[in-house]
Amino acid sequence: MREYIAKKLAIAVLVLIGVYTITFFLTFMLPGDPARVSLGQHGSEEAVELIRAQWGLDEPRYVQYVEYLKNFIKGDMGVSFRYYPREVIYLIRYRFPVTAYYGLWSIIFAVAISVPLGVMAAYKQNTIIDNIAVLISQIGVSLPNFWLGMMLIAIISVKLGWINPVPDVEYGYIWTPIGFFASLKDYALPIITVGTGMMASNTRLTRSSMLEVVREDYITLARSKGLSERVVIMKHALRNALIPVVTNVGLQFLLLVGGAVLTETVFGINGIGKLYIDAINYRDYPVVIALTLIYTGGVVLINLFVDILYSKIDPRVSLR
Amino acid sequence: MKDKEILMEVKDLVTRFYTEDGVVKALEGVSFNLYKGETLALVGETGCGKSVTALSILRLLSISGKTLKGEVLFYDDETKKRLDMSKEGPIEILKLEQSDMLKVRGFGMALITQDPMTSLNPVYTVGDQLMEVIKLHKKLSDDEAKKIAIELLEDVELTPPEDIFKKYPHQLSGGQRQRIVISISLAAEPALIFADEPTTALDVTIQARVLELMQELKEEFQTSLILITHNLGIVAETSDRVGVMYAGRVVEIADKYTLFKRPLHPYSQGLIAAVPVITEKREALSYIAGTVPNLIHPPSGCRFHPRCPYATEICKEKVPELKAVETDDHFVECWHVDEVIKDLDKKGGVC
Amino acid sequence: MVGQVDFKKLEEEKKKLTRRLYLQAIVVAVVLIAVRLLLISRENIDAWGVRLAIVGIYILVWYLFLDYVYKRWRDINYKGERDPINRFVHRLYQNKLATLGLFVVFSVAILALFAPEIALYGSDYESEWKEFALMPPSREHPFGTVSSGEDLFSLICYGSQISLMLGLGVEVIVAVIGIALGVVSGYYGGAIDKIIHYFTDVIMSFPFLILVIVLVGALRANPALNERIIDFSKSLGMDAHLLMVFLALTVFGWPGIFRQVRGQVFSIKERDYVAAAKVVGASRSSILFRHIAINTLGPVIVVMTLGIAGVILTEAGLSFLGFGADITTPSWGRLLSEGNSFVTQSKYLYLALFPGIALFLTILGFTTLGDGIRDAIDPRLKL
Assign 3-class secondary structure to chain A.
CHHHHHHHHHHHHHHHHHHHHHHHHHHCCCCCCHHHHHHCCCCCHHHHHHHHHHHCCCCCHHHHHHHHHHHHHHCCCCECCCCCCCEHHHHHHHHHHHHHHHHHHHHHHHHHHHHHHHHHHHHCCCCHHHHHHHHHHHHHHHCCHHHHHHHHHHHHHHHCCCCCCCCCCCCCCCCCHHHHHHCHHHHHHHHHHHHHHHHHHHHHHHHHHHHHHHCCHHHHHHHHCCCCHHHHHHHHHHHHHHHHHHHHHHHHHHHHHHHHHHHHHHHCCCCHHHHHHHHHHCCCHHHHHHHHHHHHHHHHHHHHHHHHHHHHHCCCCCCC
**Residue A313: closest CA among chain B residues belongs to which residue?**
B123
The DSSP letter of residue C291 is I
The DSSP letter of residue B32 is E
Cross-chain CB nearest to A150 (options C316, C340, C363)? C340
Contacts of B115 in chain A (CB under 8 A): 217
Instruction: Give partners of B (≥3 CB pairs < 8 A).
Output: A
Q: Which residues of B touch A (CB under 8 A)?
A: 55, 58, 60, 62-63, 102-107, 110-111, 113-115, 118-124, 132-133, 136-137, 168, 170, 181, 184, 188
Residue B250 belongs to a domain: yes
Per-residue confidence (pLDDT) for residue B1, from 0 to 100:
42
Residue B44, helix vs strand vs coil: coil
B106/A240 CB distance under 8 A = no
Using 50, 70 and 90 to split pLDDT, how confident is the model at C181? confident
Contacts of C336 in chain A (CB under 8 A): 144, 146-147, 150
Distance CA B57, CA A232 (A): 19
Distance CA A281, CA C221 (A): 13
Q: Which of B199, B217, B239 is the last residue of a domain?
A: B239
Contacts 24+ apart (CB under 8 A), B214-218: B214/B182, B214/B238, B215/B39, B217/B155, B217/B156, B217/B182, B217/B186, B218/B39, B218/B193
Residue B1 belongs to a domain: no
Number of C-beta neighbours around residue B299 at 10 A: 16
Question: What is the β-pairing status of strands B109-112 and B323-324?
Answer: unpaired
Task: Give tens-digit pLDDT for C31-66.
Answer: 888 888 887 776 777 777 888 888 888 889 888 988
B105/A224 CB distance under 8 A = yes
Distance from CA of C268 to the nearest CA of A (A): 22
Same domain, B54 and B151: yes
- Find which of A123, A218, A236, A318 to mutate to test the B interface (most B CBs within 10 Å of its CB): A218
A283: pLDDT strictly greater than 60: yes
Task: Give tens-digit pLDDT for B138-189.
Answer: 888 888 899 999 999 988 888 888 899 999 999 998 889 999 999 999 998 8
Residue B82 belongs to a domain: yes
Distance CA C298, CA C302 (A): 6
Among A67-76, A200-209, B178-187, C323-332, whose mean pLDDT is lowest? A67-76
Using 50, 70 and 90 to split pLDDT, how confident is the model at A28? low
ipTM for the complex?
A: 0.87
Residues C303-314 have a mean pLDDT of: 91
Contacts of A124 in chain B (CB under 8 A): none
Same domain, B84 and B182: yes
Please answer whether residues C356 and C349 qualify as being in contact, where contact means their C-beta atoms are separated by less than 8 angstroms. no
Distance from CA of B224 to the nearest CA of A (A): 17
Supply φ then ψ for residue B40, to 5 degrees. -105, 125
Same domain, B100 and B141: yes
Instruction: Give partners of C (≥3 CB pairs < 8 A).
Output: A
- Find which of C314, C321, C338, C364 to mutate to test the A interface (most A CBs within 10 Å of its CB): C321
Q: At what angle do helices C48-77 and C84-94 cross, to 10 degrees?
A: 130
**Residue C370: closest CA among chain A residues belongs to which residue?**
A138
Please answer whether residues B106 and B138 qualify as being in contact, where contact means their C-beta atoms are separated by less than 8 angstroms. no
Q: In what order do the strands lie in the sheet with B91-92?
A: B22-35, B6-19, B65-74, B91-92
Using 50, 70 and 90 to split pLDDT, how confident is the model at B73? very high
Q: In what order do the strands lie in the sheet with B323-324?
A: B109-112, B192-196, B224-229, B39-43, B241-246, B249-255, B331-332, B323-324
Same domain, B234 and B250: no
Same domain, B144 and B163: yes
Is A152 near chain C, with CB under 8 Å? no
- Find which of A255, A280, A306 to mutate to test the C interface (most C CBs within 10 Å of its CB): A280
* Cβ neighbours of residue C125 closer than 8 Å, sequence gap 6 or more: C150, C328
Distance from CA of A236 to the nearest CA of B (A): 7
Cα–Cα distances in angstroms (integers) from residue A180 to residues A170, A171, A172, C160, in the given order:
12, 11, 10, 43
B103/A314 CB distance under 8 A = no
Q: Which residues of C touch A (CB under 8 A)?
A: 97, 201-202, 205-207, 209-211, 213-215, 217-218, 220-222, 225, 309, 313, 316-317, 320-321, 336, 339-340, 343-346, 349, 352-353, 356, 359-360, 363-364, 366-368, 371, 383
B107/A226 CB distance under 8 A = yes
Same domain, B193 and B298: no
Using 50, 70 and 90 to split pLDDT, how confident is the model at B81? confident
Distance CA B105, CA B109 (A): 5
Per-residue confidence (pLDDT) for residue A319, from 0 to 100:
67
Q: Which residue type sits at B46?
A: T
> Which residues does residue B72 pair with via DSSP β-bridges, in sequence order?
B10
Using 50, 70 and 90 to split pLDDT, how confident is the model at B34? very high
C338: pLDDT strictly greater than 70: yes
Please give the mean pLDDT across all residues of chain A. 81
Question: What is the β-pairing status of strands B65-74 and B91-92?
Answer: antiparallel
Residue B198 belongs to a domain: yes
- pTM score of the predicted model: 0.81
Residue B114 belongs to a domain: yes
Residue B179 belongs to a domain: yes
C222/A29 CB distance under 8 A = yes
Contacts of A200 in chain C (CB under 8 A): none
A27/C368 CB distance under 8 A = no
B103/A313 CB distance under 8 A = no
C223: pLDDT strictly greater than 60: no
Is A266 near chain C, with CB under 8 Å? yes
Task: Give tens-digit pLDDT for A284-316.
Answer: 777 888 888 888 888 888 888 888 888 888 888
Cα–Cα distances in angstroms (integers) from residue C368 to residues A15, A140, C106, in the given order:
36, 12, 13
Please answer whether residues A137 and A204 qualify as being in contact, where contact means their C-beta atoms are separated by less than 8 angstroms. yes
Contacts of A216 in chain B (CB under 8 A): 118
**Residue B196: closest CA among chain A residues belongs to which residue?**
A221
Q: Which of B239, B264, B283 is the last residue of a domain?
A: B239
The DSSP letter of residue B253 is E
Please give the mean pLDDT across all residues of chain B. 87
Please answer whether residues C143 and C159 qualify as being in contact, where contact means their C-beta atoms are separated by less than 8 angstroms. no
Same domain, B252 and B233: no
Q: Which of B180, B207, B239 is the last residue of a domain?
A: B239
Same domain, B234 and B302: no
**Residue C309: closest CA among chain A residues belongs to which residue?**
A142
Using 50, 70 and 90 to split pLDDT, how confident is the model at C382? very low
C360/A143 CB distance under 8 A = yes
Distance from CA of C144 to the nearest CA of A (A): 17
| H/E element, B41 | strand B39-43
Per-residue confidence (pLDDT) for residue C1, from 0 to 100:
47
A315/B121 CB distance under 8 A = no
Per-residue confidence (pLDDT) for residue C383, from 0 to 100:
42
Task: Give tens-digit pLDDT for C253-291.
Answer: 888 888 888 877 777 766 655 666 666 666 555 665 666
Please answer whether residues B7 and B224 qualify as being in contact, where contact means their C-beta atoms are separated by less than 8 angstroms. yes
Residues B122-150 have a mean pLDDT of: 90
Per-residue confidence (pLDDT) for residue B350, from 0 to 100:
60
Q: At what angle do helices A238-267 and A272-281 cross, to 10 degrees?
A: 50
Residue B67, helix vs strand vs coil: strand
Number of C-beta neighbours around residue C198 at 10 A: 11
Residues A92-118 have a mean pLDDT of: 89
Per-residue confidence (pLDDT) for residue B52, from 0 to 100:
92
Distance CA A113, CA A116 (A): 6
Q: Which residues of A touch B (CB under 8 A)?
A: 125, 215-218, 220-228, 236, 239-240, 243, 313-316
Distance CA C55, CA C52 (A): 5
CATH number at residue B170: 3.40.50.300
Highest mean pLDDT among A83-87, B320-324, C270-274: B320-324
Between A64 and B54, the higher pLDDT residue = B54
The DSSP letter of residue C238 is S
Using 50, 70 and 90 to split pLDDT, how confident is the model at B305? confident
Torsion angle defined by CA atoms of residues A192, A195, A199 and A200, in that order, rounded to the nearest 10 degrees: 80
- Note down the domain range covering B320: 246-347
Among A6-20, A47-61, A69-83, C334-348, whose mean pLDDT is lowest? A47-61
Distance from CA of A223 to the nearest CA of B (A): 7
Using 50, 70 and 90 to split pLDDT, how confident is the model at C130? low
Residue B206, helix vs strand vs coil: helix
Residue B26 belongs to a domain: yes
User: DSSP of B77-134, one letter per residue?
Assistant: HHHHHHTT--SSS-EEGGGS-HHHHHHHBTTTEEEE-S-TTTSS-TTS-HHHHHHHHH
Distance CA A312, CA B201 (A): 30
Contacts 24+ apart (CB under 8 A), A163-168: A163/A188, A163/A189, A165/A189, A165/A267, A165/A268, A165/C344, A166/A267, A166/A268, A166/A269, A167/A267, A167/A269
* Cβ neighbours of residue A62 closer than 8 Å, sequence gap 6 or more: none
Same domain, B106 and B227: yes
Per-residue confidence (pLDDT) for residue C381, from 0 to 100:
47
C213/A280 CB distance under 8 A = yes
Q: Which residue type sits at C152?
A: L
Contacts of A228 in chain B (CB under 8 A): 102
**Residue C345: closest CA among chain A residues belongs to which residue?**
A158
Same domain, B155 and B250: no
Q: Based on the structure, what is the number of domains in chain B?
A: 2
**Residue B56: closest CA among chain A residues belongs to which residue?**
A224
Supply φ then ψ for residue C256, to 5 degrees. -60, -55
Contacts of C316 in chain A (CB under 8 A): 144
List the Cα angle A229/A232/A233 in 5-degree steps: 90
Which of C283, C350, A227 minimizes the C-alpha distance to B137? Answer: A227
Instruction: State what percent of residues in chain B have pLDDT above 70.
Output: 98
Distance from CA of A244 to the nearest CA of B (A): 13
Same domain, B215 and B87: yes
Contacts of A292 in chain C (CB under 8 A): 207, 210
B188/A226 CB distance under 8 A = yes
Among B13-22, B75-84, C239-248, whose mean pLDDT is lowest? C239-248
Distance from CA of B170 to the nearest CA of A (A): 6
Contacts of B137 in chain A (CB under 8 A): 226
B121/A224 CB distance under 8 A = no
The DSSP letter of residue C225 is H
Same domain, B191 and B260: no
